[in-house]
Structure 1
Amino acid sequence: MPKFQSCSALAIAASLCAGFASPAHAQEVSPEPAPATAQDGNDPAAPSGDDDINTIVVLGARLVDGVDAPEPPILELDSEDIAAYGAGSIEELLQALGPQVNSSRGRGGGGGPVILVNGVRISSFRELRSYPPEAIERTEVFSEDVAQRYGYSPDQRVVNFILKDNFASKEIELEYGQPFRGGFSQQEVEGTYLRIDGPSRLNLNVEWENSSTLTEAERGIIQADDSEQRLAGDPNPAQFRSLVSDSSGVEATANWTTRLGDSGNSLSLNATYEREDSLRLQGLDSVVLTDDEGNSLLRTFNAADPLTVDARTKNYSFGSTLNLGIGDWEVTGTLDGTYVDGITRTGERVDTTQLVEDAAAGLVAIDGPLGTFADAGFDEALLDTYTVNALATARGNPVYLPAGDVSVTLRGGYNWNRIESSDTRSLTGDTQLTRGRVTGGANVSIPLTSRREDFLGAVGDLTLNLNAGVDYLSDFGTLQDWTVGLTWGVTDTLTFSANHINREVAPSLSQLGSPAIATPNVPVFDIANNETVLATVISGGNPNLPAQDQSDWSFGVNWELPFIERGSVSIDYYDNHSTDVTNGLPTLSPEIEAAFPDRVTRDATGRLVELDDRFVTFAARDQRRLQFGLNLSGRIGGDDEEGGGRGGPPSGAARGGPAGGPVGGPPDAERMAQMRATFCEREPGELVDLFNRALAAQAAGEEPPLGPDGEPISIPPRMLERLAGENGQVDPERFAAVRERVCSTDAADPQQARGEGGRGGRGARGGGRFGRMMGGGNDGPPTGRWFFNLDYTLELENTVLIADGLPRLDLLDGDALSGGGDPRHGVRARGGVFYDGYGLIAFANYTGSSRLDGTGLADSTDLFFDDYITVNLRAFADLGQRASLVEDVPFLKGSRVGLSIDNLFDARQTVTDSNGLVPLRYQPFLVDPRGRSFEIEFRKMF
């Protein structure tokens, strides 16, 4: 493996970090003779020459808990950066980061990120999502190319959460929200317990949430029913249609992680129970009575038995992660299992035939409101799904080339899925589907040139990435995939990338075999007749779906702006081509109806009465787009000099977050010398006693005790906290590891510790962490953060070929696959400030205009979807930082209040036809029933 030289401060930082992690992450054995190290408190031998002063050789280029990748992260956040988002959990933090952690390579709106904890895979995001953000020491976001190094697909970004070594909290969070117009409200209560003791973690979380009903009548929705035929006194059907369902849910999660032995191996277990109940009003049963000749006598609505959909889902999940260091390989095994039990009861329509017979027998009067129908009963659907995913990955660097280590990742796994369903409405009977999938593959990352290794360094840093995999599906046969990628780091601040992905994707079990179900009374816009009708919609799977072939190209460039501190620009180009594409039946345009005539049923007048919406296959789809990103951030107050004061970010570390580098700059030489004297010039037993006294004084809020020389102990409070074990006393193993590393080198050179010379400031991240351990960033006036992120997407092409011989659909020019056209332009922007415990964040989304062409016939029309902007605001205040307030109300210690306003300007997309009228299906409150709304949050940590 390669070696590199650094100043002693950087070496100390890396060594101290290594003391808290497994040997698999960093090793300190060099193939060349290493400098002498101190034993039992003795100083090392003096260096042999001036050139060797402040020099140490370290084996392994990456820092502990970090991600082994040739390219630098595209985003780094330290603890103060994370605080600027005001999130209550890691799940909320990821939601706030939005486009910076979600991939644009993915099909269908961007893929969610791969989650690592301290550089290690986890079985499921459930293991981490409820952690409070205060438990995070640093967060790194890497590009999609890094995902393959951990056994994931190349269309997901990687988010690595590096947790604090010692952390404990109990937290309760209360939330209440509702629209400004009222109509319904939402409530949430969440309680979380977390304890981190080095590699051991325990997390318990319980959450309850509830939402009340919002009906169409409360928003004045005009109904699609033929109201002229209703009897006098019949109720308004809008009172029996839900815009927002009545729902409630509860979730309980337990996560536990422990170290196995002294080798750094670890085991994680997690379990979750979730239950969700919902009740949706589906309208009133419309009943039409006719005479013997079929003429309509009257139309009325069955208010005694409204149509409802009552659903309950219970979810049981279990996961486990085993991380082992086997020789030079890091082996991770994950096991994740889920069982979902669902039941849905849907109200049935009244038997009209029986009703007519009752009317003829005089049991029901037909000259007045019919409100005495017998209970029509309900249809019942049962759905049980079983999922088991097991995957093992082995990562290592088995070959060393002149440009660096060759990184190899081997993966193998087995996935098992089973679906059991029954539905009294099913047109095909009960369903039982099973799929087993055996997976295998390898990823190889080959460094071609390297500036750090001085091998063709004038070219920059070139890395070739190769990935190949084979899947065998028990119900579908063998599928293959392969990827080729090239990353070119021209300079520390300019990186280019190119990737080609080719893979075969099988339809899901649900797409293949879900039962065919007919659901009545569904509003459908019929563009051919320019009307919204209540039709019967058939949903379900299609057993004849083929595998989809995907061929994707992507090219990207990321540039850290030299003229703006902590600023970067990224440009990405995506070209996706697919054949045999699985999709739900698209919007019922003339082309779609002509291509799938058996999916549409009309009556004698041409009115749409039934739509078969089951999955179909398109011949091909092509998409091309450009995405531009701008990321700016900075510090408010404090010492703005890089690396100084309260810890300015290191060079090359800022890539689009609220601030680029860690809090607390590297310690200066004097402080390093004082700490080294404290650790190395006293007997270990004396030191442990002094540190225990210091911990007790710190816990009691007292001044630190004096040493034998009458001077205060020269060790920062944060380092004391890291040395403490679960019992609040000094942990012997941690103390020994820290003492050995502090005493094994000379005092730090603070200028070098700022990260000079390493690509992207990678070494500085370790120095910053050591600076925080030294207590950097705890003195001086309050500081804050500001940030601004902008993402603009330009769709260049989005076309679909339904079948050979038919014209292509242009989704950017009048055609559609869903309820509306696809916009060519989209913008997402986020900006915020955080200062002295107060924060304000604004989120803005712009959606461009689009169009859906009609048939051109007399009754048809075009639809125009206007562009619009939504703006969300979030403000919060850490009451616990207001000393006078906490003194008056001690309960407020550790508390925070927040206020969020979504859709500040109450904006909705406006949809009009060729006559300038709004079709009933696109009424503004059907598009967005919530509108401008607020949420109040109270959070307290104990």
Structure 2
Amino acid sequence: MRRFGSAALALLMTTAAPAAMAAGQSDAPVGTETPRQDDAGAPGVDPMGDDIEEVVITGGPLRGAVPGDIKPELTLNPADIRAYGVGSLAELLTELEPQTRSGRGRDGGAPVLLLSGRRISSFGEIRDIPPEAIERVEILPEEAALKLGYRADQRVVNIVLRRRFRSITAELDGTVATAGGRDGQDVELSMLRLNPDGRVNLDVEYERDSSLLESERDIIQDPANSRTDGEYRTLQPDRQSLTANAVLSRTIGKVAATANLRMEQSWSDSLLGLPIAGGTDPLRRSSDSNTLHGGISLNGDISPKWRWSATGNWDRVESRTLTDRDTGLTDWARSISNVASVDALVNGAVADLPAGAISTSLRVAGRTSGLTSESRRDGLFADTDIGRDSGSVRANLDLPIASRSKAVLSALGNLSLNANGEVEQLSDFGTLVTYGYGANWSPIDGVRLIASFTEEEGAPSAQQLGNPRVETPNVRVFDFVRGETVDINRIDGGNPGLGADNRSVMKLGANLRPFDADLTLNVDYTKSTIRNPIASFPTATAEIEAAFPDRFVRDGDGQLIQIDNRPVNFERSEREQIRWGLNFSAPISSPLARAAMEAAQARRAERAAAREASEGQPDREGARPGAGERPGGPRFGGGRGPGRGGFGGRGGGAAGGRFQFGIYHTIALTDRVEIRDGLPALDLLNGSATGSRGGSPRHQVELRTGVVRDGIGVRLNADWQSATRVSGGTTGGETLRFDDFATVNLRLFANLGPQFKFVRDNRWLTGTRLVVSVDNLFDNRLKVTDASGATPLSYQPALLDPVGRTVRISVRKLFF
């Protein structure tokens, strides 16, 4: 293991410079091709261990591309995807999160996901797809979502699969915390079949993580509290989950139909400390949930210029919670949520202008949801039954103004304007209206500028309104008013008094490709103003308690004993930021890969010559002129996508390696919250906080880099944020400093497929990948200190990050 780690780290250091030098080199000469079968008879395995998909380049749009004039900011080809060393599409999207996050939407900026330019019913359709089955991944800006009937507050990620692929994948993971006390296991079995008529995907996964006690992290207990004992309080509960997911997709006539069924059962158990009355039996909480999801999507074409799609989803979630109380009773809560939705979209070109076609989309959606909950607390029974029905109509319009290729106002470059609007009717909130407009301008090649403006109204979710009331005893918090750590009773659940919010968002963005290389630069300025924002109850600072005195309960001595943590509406919030990012990718040549390709070509030529001699006629496949030329253009081995991608479009599937580097820097200019009218605003950049980990950092940096060569690779992910502080306010309470904080994750992986001689001698190793990953490599934890330099008990590093550094070993076997 030490030799493997040293070799991988040395590889990262020594190949960065050659990678940059190789940026202008192709991985394989045009016209070469990789055979569909090697001497051992393993079909569809290329020198890098991936299934090979032949790609024919034509002059039209790429297969599976997103329609419209907004081009991808980044494109990943098979070599790029392979360099991440991940085991599923879900893991790949986690790695790409800095590139795909928008930061503008109410759902945290998660992207819109497409499959070959078409809509899907839900993430469950594609989450378990192995990366070997992916031909390319495209990341587009938020404005591309408008053409698909979505709001302009999410980026678009388009996944294009190979035409044919088949595999059975088995993966076994083991995780352990280096400080002890916590371990986990993960077993997954998956099957995928792809062909031009559709796909079948089955996946079963079991996960378990053991509990972690405070005594296993040497937590300092409050000497004044006799109930605190680290052996009877869990930092992390014992968790288990079992998931089964099935996807069936078929082409029925001219309609692509997909059905998805997902079932998940999860359990968790935790200890909450000793009861007030004393005793050796700790208070416990047990929770379990059952989730059932069904989805269907239909996609078709009305004409060459018009597409339609329809999706439907149904989700049922049943959850139960049992909580021991000091009184000797057991509280319980149970809730059942049912949500069903249908969504239909038609989009295409309505008319042709000199600068291009006017494109539009019309989307109609309906949704019904219901939440029933019941609970017993201190022997008192309560129940809730709420429901909501909604319907919406949304229209988008894209108007081309100038075009270089069509010689229309070519001095302006390429310019288009867009507008969108939505009306939504809710049974319990009335009518909500959303509208927006923007421009997409490319004054010269390699430069694209985007501006967009959105006004949106949004209602709280059924869970935010009606989740059952749950009380958790012995929750450790820091009381900023008295400057002490206390154990309180925390109330969670829904708040039926929540109101709708209203968002105004402006974005100005630029995407640059300054050189003829796989290098992109993105710069975005975003300003968001939310009136009546809905938020989880913030940290119990003196400012928050002054604004919500009814949410805090103190005893006769003034000690804090209870906090009502249910969500609230603030008066107003405003955030302004600049985010820039740079992405670079370059191929790395490899003698091993080239030698393997030459050997494969030689074997192919020998077989062609043998067939020609036996049949007495030229072999079309082995003797065609040009070795790789087709009527549609040149052919590349290894499933390489044509054209140049933002993350390495030059490389083919037979590449020896790949170097990648990406960095994103977010600069917060303004982050303010007005809690209630007439109260001072909270400046989260200068002494105020709404979260438990301090205020908002002024700077955040995300680094993603890695290198792979001949199947052996290393990935390094690092995140850093600047220091913050939380002031005691005008009441003279305690002021805390939250130091700057950085985490580094390292992953080493080895795909054994490229090691040809070794694999030929051990055929059972074909398709095997070994991974050793270390999360929080330097075991870093957030440091919090008061004015004297001491750390409050509730902010002990092991409380903020109980697990610390973890090591995961994964063995993955792909059966082609």
TM range (shorter): 0.7 to 0.9
Question: d(CA) in 2 for partners of 1:704 and 1:520?
Answer: 80
**Paired position in structure 1 for 2:18:** none
**Paired position in structure 2 for 1:331:** 308
**Paired position in structure 2 for 1:258:** 250
Question: d(CA) in 1 for partners of 2:727 and 2:431?
Answer: 41
Question: d(CA) in 2 for partners of 1:934 and 1:166?
Answer: 36
Task: State the shift of 1:863 in Å.
Answer: 0.3
Q: Which amino acid aligns with 1:713?
A: R
**Paired position in structure 2 for 1:315:** 291
Would you say the 8 A contact 1:224–1:534 is kept in 2?
no
2:145 is paired with a residue of what secondary structure?
Answer: helix
Task: State the shift of 1:100 in Å.
Answer: 0.8
Task: State the shift of 1:389 in Å.
Answer: 1.6
Q: Which has the larger radius of gyration?
A: 1
1:182 is paired with a residue of what secondary structure?
Answer: coil
**Paired position in structure 2 for 1:829:** 703
Would you say the 8 A contact 2:80–2:648 is kept in 1?
no
Instruction: Tell me whether 1:242 sits opposite 2:234 in the alignment.
Output: yes
Match of 1:221 among 214, 219, 231: 219
**Paired position in structure 2 for 1:355:** none
Change (3 A) 1:505 1:428: farther
**Paired position in structure 2 for 1:113:** 111
Question: d(CA) in 2 for partners of 1:595 and 1:810?
Answer: 15
Question: d(CA) in 2 for partners of 1:184 and 1:803?
Answer: 43
Match of 1:349 among 309, 326, 344: 326
**Paired position in structure 2 for 1:518:** 471
Task: State the shift of 1:308 in Å.
Answer: 1.1
Change (3 A) 1:903 1:513: same
Question: d(CA) in 2 for partners of 1:703 and 1:598?
Answer: 88
**Paired position in structure 2 for 1:340:** 317
**Paired position in structure 2 for 1:64:** 63
Deviation string 1:60-110 (CA, Å, 9 cap, x unpaired) is x633311012122011011111101011000011111121122122357x4
Would you say the 8 A contact 2:774–2:807 is kept in 1?
yes
Change (3 A) 1:889 1:703: farther
Question: d(CA) in 1 for partners of 2:206 and 2:152?
Answer: 35
Correspondence 1:90-129 to 2 at 5 A? 90-107=89-106, 110-129=108-127
Q: TM-score, normalised by structure 1?
A: 0.75
**Paired position in structure 1 for 2:799:** 926
Change (3 A) 1:184 1:702: farther
Q: Which amino acid aligns with 1:335?
A: G
Match of 1:632 among 580, 584, 595: 584
Correspondence 1:245-324 to 2 at 5 A? 245-261=237-253, 263=254, 265-287=255-277, 301-304=278-281, 306-324=282-300
Would you say the 8 A contact 1:814–1:821 is kept in 2?
yes
Deviation string 1:664-712 (CA, Å, 9 cap, x unpaired) is 9xxxxxx9xxxxxxxxxxxxxxxxxxxxxxxxx99x9998733856433
Would you say the 8 A contact 1:395–1:409 is kept in 2?
yes
Question: d(CA) in 1 for partners of 2:381 and 2:669?
Answer: 42
Task: State the shift of 1:636 in Å.
Answer: 0.8
Question: d(CA) in 2 for partners of 1:90 and 1:57?
Answer: 28
Task: State the shift of 1:822 in Å.
Answer: 1.3
Match of 1:142 among 133, 140, 143: 140
Q: Which amino acid aligns with 2:295?
A: G
Task: State the shift of 1:883 in Å.
Answer: 2.4
Match of 2:768 among 876, 895, 899: 895
Instruction: Tell me whether 1:448 sits opposite 2:401 in the alignment.
Output: yes
Would you say the 8 A contact 1:704–1:713 is kept in 2?
no
Q: Which amino acid aligns with 1:318?
A: G
Q: Which amino acid aligns with 2:684?
A: L
1:714 is paired with a residue of what secondary structure?
Answer: coil
Would you say the 8 A contact 1:705–1:713 is kept in 2?
no
**Paired position in structure 2 for 1:494:** 447
Match of 1:712 among 611, 616, 619: 619
Correspondence 1:867-878 to 2 at 5 A? 867-878=740-751
The structure whose RCO (Cα within 8 Å, separation 6+) is larger is 2
Match of 2:726 among 840, 843, 852: 852
Would you say the 8 A contact 1:224–1:523 is kept in 2?
no
Q: Which amino acid aligns with 2:416?
A: T
Q: Which amino acid aligns with 2:215?
A: A
Instruction: Tell me whether 1:394 sits opposite 2:392 in the alignment.
Output: no
Correspondence 1:118-197 to 2 at 5 A? 118-197=116-195
Task: State the shift of 1:793 in Å.
Answer: 0.6
Identity of aligned residues (%): 38
Question: d(CA) in 2 for partners of 1:246 and 1:225?
Answer: 27
Task: State the shift of 1:536 in Å.
Answer: 1.5
Question: d(CA) in 2 for partners of 1:712 and 1:702?
Answer: 6
Q: Which amino acid aligns with 1:120?
A: R
2:279 is paired with a residue of what secondary structure?
Answer: strand
Q: Which amino acid aligns with 2:565?
A: D
Task: State the shift of 1:765 in Å.
Answer: 6.5
**Paired position in structure 2 for 1:360:** none
Deviation string 1:572-610 (CA, Å, 9 cap, x unpaired) is 101001111122332222222222222211112111112
Instruction: Tell me whether 1:913 sits opposite 2:795 in the alignment.
Output: no
Question: d(CA) in 2 for partners of 1:487 and 1:112?
Answer: 22
Question: d(CA) in 2 for partners of 1:100 and 1:282?
Answer: 39
Task: State the shift of 1:879 in Å.
Answer: 1.5
1:380 is paired with a residue of what secondary structure?
Answer: strand
1:891 is paired with a residue of what secondary structure?
Answer: helix
Would you say the 8 A contact 1:706–1:713 is kept in 2?
no
Would you say the 8 A contact 1:428–1:515 is kept in 2?
no
Would you say the 8 A contact 1:343–1:381 is kept in 2?
yes
Correspondence 1:459-478 to 2 at 5 A? 459-478=412-431
Would you say the 8 A contact 2:498–2:534 is kept in 1?
yes
Change (3 A) 1:856 1:477: closer
2:188 is paired with a residue of what secondary structure?
Answer: strand
1:95 is paired with a residue of what secondary structure?
Answer: helix
Deviation string 1:323-381 (CA, Å, 9 cap, x unpaired) is 1222342110001111111111111223xxxxxxxxxxxxxxxxxxxxxxxxx342221
Would you say the 8 A contact 1:704–1:712 is kept in 2?
no
**Paired position in structure 2 for 1:356:** none
Aligned residues between the structures: 743
**Paired position in structure 2 for 1:411:** 363
Change (3 A) 1:704 1:123: farther
Q: Which amino acid aligns with 2:315?
A: T
Question: d(CA) in 1 for partners of 2:266 and 2:649?
Answer: 45
Q: Which amino acid aligns with 2:777?
A: L
Correspondence 1:528-543 to 2 at 5 A? 528-543=481-496
Q: Which amino acid aligns with 2:501?
A: Q
Deviation string 1:756-798 (CA, Å, 9 cap, x unpaired) is xxxxx998379x99999xxx765xxx62100110000110000
Question: d(CA) in 2 for partners of 1:347 and 1:891?
Answer: 52
Correspondence 1:647-686 to 2 at 5 A? none
Match of 1:199 among 178, 197, 216: 197
Q: Which amino acid aligns with 1:705?
A: R
1:543 is paired with a residue of what secondary structure?
Answer: coil
Deviation string 1:147-187 (CA, Å, 9 cap, x unpaired) is 12112222111111111111000110010011111111010
Instruction: Tell me whether 1:600 sits opposite 2:507 in the alignment.
Output: no
Q: TM-score, normalised by structure 2?
A: 0.86
**Paired position in structure 1 for 2:74:** 75
Gaps of 5+ in 2: 1-29, 31-56
**Paired position in structure 2 for 1:941:** 814
Task: State the shift of 1:850 in Å.
Answer: 0.2
Change (3 A) 1:472 1:712: same
Task: State the shift of 1:856 in Å.
Answer: 5.6
CA RMSD of aligned residues (A): 3.0
**Paired position in structure 1 for 2:643:** 764
Bigger strand fraction: 2
Would you say the 8 A contact 2:310–2:342 is kept in 1?
yes
Question: d(CA) in 1 for partners of 2:236 and 2:622?
Answer: 57
1:906 is paired with a residue of what secondary structure?
Answer: coil
Q: Which amino acid aligns with 2:418?
A: N
Task: State the shift of 1:749 in Å.
Answer: 8.3
Task: State the shift of 1:808 in Å.
Answer: 1.1
